[in-house]
Structure formats: C-alpha cells, structure tokens
C-alpha cells in the first residue's frame, strides 16, 4: 500500500496579505508560507493508515520558500519519503500542479492519493480533485476518515454532506481523496525530531513537465469591498464591555 | 486519459447543477438559478438546470425559474456519489455545450466542479460570490485566502463556476414558469469504482444552537481548551449557548452539533458574538444572517469585521471576562 500525500505551502492567513504593484497578485516579498492546514490533516490520516496497515507514505509538495522545513516535519511525523515538485516556478496554480502531477505520479506508483480538501489559494479548483479529473480516477472530497480493506483494494471513507450529515462510501483503489479532517487532530512533533529527520533523510526531487492548462485571467486582486463594516468600540476591556452591554441592553438582549 | 477539449462554445447558454438532499432541492439550488438567470441574460442565452436524483420527476416544477429542466430520475442517483454524478453531468455538458456551468460550492458541489472542469479541459473558478457578464465575457468574484482577498477573474470561453452558498437571493430563483422539461438518458453506469454504503445522522444535541437567541461563538483565537470556560460563563450570563468554528470541533473540544458553518449548522440568532473567529467564508455561510453580530478579534483586518455590526479589536481572554462581569453587574447579580 503506497499512500501519496500531496500538499502545498500557502500564505499564513494570520499575517497581513498585501497586493503587489500589478494589482493582480500577492506581494510575496515578506510572505510567510505554511503548509495548508487541510494538508496537515491529509498527512495525519496517511500516518494513521501507515500505523494501522503498514502503508508506505510519500509526501510531495511543489517547491516554495519553507518547503524543506515542511517536508522534514512530515518525515518526522512518520512519512517515509519526501519529494519536492520542481520546475513549476513560483506560485503555480492548482491546475498547473494537478496537470504536472497527473503526468509525474503514475511513474511513482500509488494506491491512494490524499490531499487537503482545499487550500486558501485554490482559485481555480482543488489540486486533488483536478488531479482525479485528469487521471480519470475516482475521488471523494470533504472526507473525515479513511479505513482500508485488509487486502488494500478498497477504502471506506466518510464524506461530509451539508448540515452535519455524513455519508459512508466505498471506493476502489487507486483513488484520490480530499481530506477535510483526519480521525484525530494532526500530531505535533518537537523540533528535535525534525532535526533528526534532517540528518536521516534527504529530500528528493520530482521534476514537473510544465503542461499547458487553461488559465484564468485575474484582472484584479483586492480587499473585499465590505457591504457594511463593523463599528469599532475602543477603550480598555472594561470600557469596551460597558459600551457593548449598553448596546445589548438597548436592544433588549440584556434584561 | 487526456481530457478532451470542449469545442468552442457558440452558445450563451448557462447550465445550473441543482443540488439535492433528503429528497428535496436545497436552498442553494435556487440561489444558483437566480445567479444563472443573470448570467444567461447577459449572454443572451437560455438557462438550463441539470436535476439529478431519485424522485425528481415530480419535482421538476419547483425548478421553473429555468428555461429548460434536464432531469434524471434513477435509484443510482439517490445518494450523492461523486463519481456517479460526475459521469452523468459530464455527459450532459458534453452534449449541451453550455458557456457557463454553475455548481454550488458546498461539500457535495465541491466534488463536482473541479473534476468536471479538468475532464472538460475548461477553467474552473471556485468560491464565487458574484458572477456577471461584461461585453460577452463572464466575470466572477472569487473569495481567496480565507476571504481576506477577492480575485476578479474573466472567462473568455466556457468554464465551470462554483458559487458560495448564500451569495444570491433564493427567492429570485424560485420561479414558477413553465420550462421545457426533458428527461436525460443515463450514460452507462457500469465499471464504477465507488458506491454508497449508508448515511450517518448527526448526533442528537443537548442544546439546539439553531433555536438559541443568543450565541457566544468561539474560534481558534481562544487558544486553549481551558479558556472555553470564559465563553461558557458569558453565555450563561447572557442566557445563551456556546457554539464554535470548525477547528475547535475537529480538535474534539466541542461536539459537532455546536459547529456553525458550511459543514455545521446555519444559525440566525438575535445576537451572535464571535470571539477569536477569523470569518472564513465557510464560517460566514452559517451565521451571516444573524440579527446582530459582534466580533472580537486581535486582527483588525479579520474578515469577520466585514459582516459584524460591532467590532472590538482586542484579546478575547480579556474582553470575554470583562463582558461577563458587566452583564452580571447590569443584571444586578454581580
Ligand atoms: C469544505 C469545508 C467546510 C468547512 N466548514 C466549516 C464550518 O462549518 N464551520 C467553520 O467554522 N469552518 C469551516 N471550515 C473551515 C474554515 O475554512 C476555517 O478554517 C475556519 O472557519 C477557521 O476557524 P477560526 O476562525 O476559528 O480560526 P482561524 O481562521 O485560525 O482564526 C482565528 C482568529 O482568532 C484571532 N485571534 C487569535 N488570538 C486571539 C485572541 N487572543 N483574541 C482575539 N482574537 C484572536 C486571529 O486573529 C484569527 O482571526 C470549512 C472548511 C472547508 C474546506
Ligand atoms: N479505479 C481505477 N482503478 C485503477 N486504475 C484506474 C481506475 N480508474 C482509472 N484508472 C486508470 O486511470 C487511467 C485513465 O482512466 P480514464 O480517464 O478513465 O481513461 C486508466 O489508464 C486507468 O489505468
């Protein structure tokens, strides 16, 4: 059983995001990149499958500032192999990544591809689902748990439907799954383990053939024009609380 | 398999993909029809709706806002199985060649939009909040980076657009016209690689957050599990309940039935106090129509402030206890 986790680094949403001079892209100069949070869940699910079934886990991510750290961390968490997808340039679109993977992955051989359900920069769709579309493989997105058949031919997955409902589906492998949440929160590894992984492993490179893909023309990237914006209350916590509670009293919400 | 390119679409037709759950068309279906009508008008084409499911035959009338209802009614389509729905939808799109396909960006629709676009070799725009036509070009606003930025993208040719629920008024899509109704042939459904096993109901809740008038909602900004007590105390003082954003539920800090948003519940309380919640589109989907929204966040640029009526830039760990104390004092309890 070979599980490939496809991840990507995205801007940390806790930081300020600025638009560049062209008005169409992100200002990448001071951007802090982190592994997409749902990819962390995909990795966790893969490591859980390894622990339960002895699967081999390969982690793959397009090259980006900080990708080495992310890959070594994945190795420290239990991945067996880590690879950088090189040759796609800076900030490739989901479509470019998916198309490149569709041509590169078959040579690697895999039974299951896990990706995060989506990433913050998936303007043109989610990598995993696009990849499944290219490869003609079955896929299920918004997955919150994967169980493998003992013989490794099928997976039983839990998919979220709206309103808190779940569906259980059976999928023949190979397949692509978009992981929303792993069966348990992503594990934490101490830095010392990451350092150890750096000594024990080397990162491999998978070169991507740039494939022509449909491109979206982004005319403008901007802050949302808010229909209404909050009226801000200032002051110390006590002052703010007094103002806010007065508003609630006025509206009959505190009596 | 190399994806076959769709031939240049000459039509200005729009195809909406209806969404179904529990034997009914979901609200977002009508929102899609409302959006689809605007786009079809702009392109000078017709508006069709692909209505896949079981028991649809008697429910096509509800889709009267479209000019054409293309429906399939089959037991295989009763539950949503991405591979099956995708196969049927791909056949419909290939035969009709619409200029724009509108899909809901929901936990089921998400499984259709991108793979369909990949298979057809056309672009996909996810997370659309608005779609319109300018000089024959379809233009969309897509929310990216957790709603922190908006990308305006133009589609010169055919494409698939996934629309965020709650972006268009459903009423505008609840037409009672007399559309042409066509039953579509099911493509061969053999050789499938996936099947539906069962549906799992949400756990029963001790508190039904959809019925509470006052909700104190906590997000990742609360930091630690121990701090949840601060929200509980405020909720108690206000006579409301605590609910949460997804990450807290995924962490196991609160049960799923306290989750607000796309894959949780939709709430419409008199007061929604969002504490340490950034306001990602998936969260906003579940609470944007609350009567009064108050947000507390250390980041003045957090998207939650765009939907909040009142905002406090500050630390929840300081503001929540101050609020609790003040509420108690006003109520003459403290
Ligand atoms: C298919 C799908 C479905 C989803 N469904 C849902 C859903 O139903 N509900 C949902 O909520 N999410 C859902 N999500 C997840 C969503 O994308 C976001 O990840 C999530 O809403 C973020 O939760 P948050 O705001 O609590 O955390 P974050 O985005 O991490 O925000 C935390 C906020 O707290 C602030 N903060 C930090 N410290 C403090 C402090 N001391 N005081 C005050 N503020 C502080 C930060 O500035 C930040 O704005 C879904 C995602 C997907 C892909
Ligand atoms: N469920 C599956 N199991 C194994 N291989 C598959 C499966 N689905 C698709 N494939 C492979 O994906 C390739 C492309 O499939 P298609 O797009 O259907 O032509 C084929 O060469 C198959 O080998």
Summarised one tens digit per residue, pLDDT across range B13-32 is 999 999 999 999 999 999 99
> In degrees to the nearest 10, what's the CA dihedral of B126, B15, B76, B185?
-150
Counting ligand 1 atoms within 8 A of each CB, the residue from B146, B166, B219 with the most, and so the one to mutate, is: B219
Residue B93, pLDDT above cutoff 70: yes
> In degrees to the nearest 10, what's the CA dihedral of A183, A186, A189, A191?
170
pLDDT at B99: 97
Q: Report d(CA A180, CA B209) in Å as an integer.
A: 23
What whole-number percentage of chain B has pLDDT above 90? 90
Q: Average pLDDT of chain B?
A: 94
What whole-number percentage of chain B has pLDDT above 70? 96
- Cα angle B263, B266, B267 (rounded to 5 degrees) comes to 145
Three-class DSSP category at B270 = coil
The DSSP code sequence of B92-159 is HHHHH--SEEEEE-STTTHHHHHHHHHHHT--EEEEEEEEEEETTEEEEEEEEGGGTEEEEEEESS-E
Residue A97, pLDDT above cutoff 90: yes
pLDDT at B333: 58
| Minimum CA distance residue for ligand 2 atom 10 | A137
Chain B environment of A214 (Cβ under 8 Å): 117, 121-123, 159
CA of B280 to the centre of ligand 1 (A): 6
pLDDT at B2: 45
Do residues B259 and A163 make contact, with C-beta atoms less than 8 angstroms apart?
Answer: no
Residue A230 has φ and ψ, to the nearest 5°, of: -55, 145
Closest to A46 in 3D by CA, of A14, A94, A7, A72: A7
In whole angstroms, what separates CA A30 from the centre of its chain? 21
Summarised one tens digit per residue, pLDDT across range A188-215 is 999 999 999 999 999 999 998 888 898 8
Summarised one tens digit per residue, pLDDT across range A19-64 is 999 999 999 888 999 999 999 999 999 999 999 999 999 999 999 9
Summarised one tens digit per residue, pLDDT across range B102-122 is 999 999 999 999 999 999 999
What's the whole-number mean pLDDT along residues B9-13? 77
Q: Domain A2-207 carries which CATH code? A: 3.40.50.620
Ligand at shortest distance from the CA of A176: 2
pLDDT at A227: 66
pLDDT at A188: 95
Q: Report d(CA B177, CA B67) in Å as an integer.
A: 8
Do residues B159 and A128 make contact, with C-beta atoms less than 8 angstroms apart?
Answer: no
Annotated domain spans of chain A: 2-207
Ordered structural domains, chain B, with CATH = 14-183 (3.40.50.620), 214-333 (3.40.50.1220)
pLDDT at B10: 59
Do residues B142 and B151 make contact, with C-beta atoms less than 8 angstroms apart?
Answer: yes
Residue B183, pLDDT above cutoff 80: yes
Residue B7, pLDDT above cutoff 90: no
Beta-bridged to residue A154, according to DSSP, are A172
Q: Report d(CA B325, CA B117) in Å as an integer.
A: 54
């Amino acid at each position: 059983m070979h599980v490939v986790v496809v991840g990507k680094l995205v801007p940390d949403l806790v930081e300020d995001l600025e638009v560049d001079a062209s008005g169409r892209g992100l200002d990448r100069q001071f951007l802090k990149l982190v592994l997409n949070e749902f990819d962390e869940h995909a990795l966790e699910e893969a490591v859980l499958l390894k622990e339960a079934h002895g699967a081999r886990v390969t982690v793959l991510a397009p090259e980006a500032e900080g990708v080495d750290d992310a890959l070594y961390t994945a190795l420290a968490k239990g991945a067996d192999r880590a690879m950088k997808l090189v040759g796609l340039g800076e900030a490739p679109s989901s479509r470019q990544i998916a198309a490149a993977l569709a041509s590169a992955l078959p040579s690697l051989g895999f039974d299951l591809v896990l990706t995060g359900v989506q990433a913050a920069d998936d303007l043109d769709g989610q990598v995993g689902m696009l990849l499944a579309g290219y490869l003609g493989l079955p896929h299920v997105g918004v997955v919150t748990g994967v169980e493998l058949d003992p013989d490794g031919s099928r997976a039983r997955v839990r998919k979220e439907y709206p309103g808190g409902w779940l569906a259980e589906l059976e999928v023949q492998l190979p397949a692509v799954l978009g992981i929303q949440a792993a069966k348990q929160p992503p594990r934490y590894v101490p830095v010392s383990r990451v350092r150890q992984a750096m000594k024990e492993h080397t990162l491999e490179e998978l070169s991507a053939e740039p494939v022509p893909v449909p491109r979206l023309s982004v005319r403008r990237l901007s802050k949302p024009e808010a229909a209404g914006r909050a009226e801000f209350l200032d002051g110390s916590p006590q002052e703010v609380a007094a103002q806010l509670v007065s508003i609630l009293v006025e509206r009959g919400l505190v009596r | 398999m190399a994806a076959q390119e769709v031939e240049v679409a000459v039509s200005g037709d729009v195809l909406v993909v209806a969404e179904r759950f529990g034997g009914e068309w979901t609200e977002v279906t009508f929102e899609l029809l409302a959006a689809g009508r605007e786009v079809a008008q702009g392109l000078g084409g017709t508006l069709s709706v692909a209505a896949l499911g079981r028991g649809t035959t008697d429910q096509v009338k509800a889709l009267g806002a479209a000019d054409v209802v293309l429906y399939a009614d089959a037991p295989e389509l009763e539950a949503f199985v991405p591979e099956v729905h995708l196969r049927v939808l791909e056949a419909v799109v290939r035969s009709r060649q619409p200029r724009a396909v509108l899909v809901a960006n929901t936990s089921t629709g998400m499984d259709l939009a991108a793979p369909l676009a990949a298979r057809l070799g056309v672009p996909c725009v996810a997370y659309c909040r608005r779609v319109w036509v300018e000089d024959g070009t379809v233009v969309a606003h897509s929310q990216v980076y957790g709603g922190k930025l908006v990308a305006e993208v133009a589609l010169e040719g055919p494409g698939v657009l996934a629309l965020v629920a709650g972006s268009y008024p459903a009423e505008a899509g609840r037409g009672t016209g007399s559309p042409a109704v066509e039953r579509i042939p099911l493509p061969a459904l053999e050789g499938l690689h996936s099947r539906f096993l069962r549906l799992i109901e949400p756990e029963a809740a001790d508190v039904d957050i959809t019925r509470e008038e006052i909700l104190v909602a906590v997000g990742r900004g609360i930091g630690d599990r121990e701090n949840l007590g601060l929200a509980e105390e405020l909720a108690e003082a206000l006579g409301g309940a605590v609910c949460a954003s997804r990450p807290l539920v995924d962490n196991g800090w609160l049960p799923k039935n306290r989750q607000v948003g796309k894959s949780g519940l939709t709430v419409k309380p008199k007061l929604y106090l969002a504490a340490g919640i950034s306001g990602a589109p998936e969260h906003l989907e579940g609470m944007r129509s609350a009567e009064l929204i108050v947000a507390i966040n250390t980041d003045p640029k957090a998207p939650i402030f765009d939907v909040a009526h009142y905002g406090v830039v500050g630390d929840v760990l300081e503001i929540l206890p101050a609020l609790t104390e003040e509420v108690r004092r006003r109520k003459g309890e403290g």
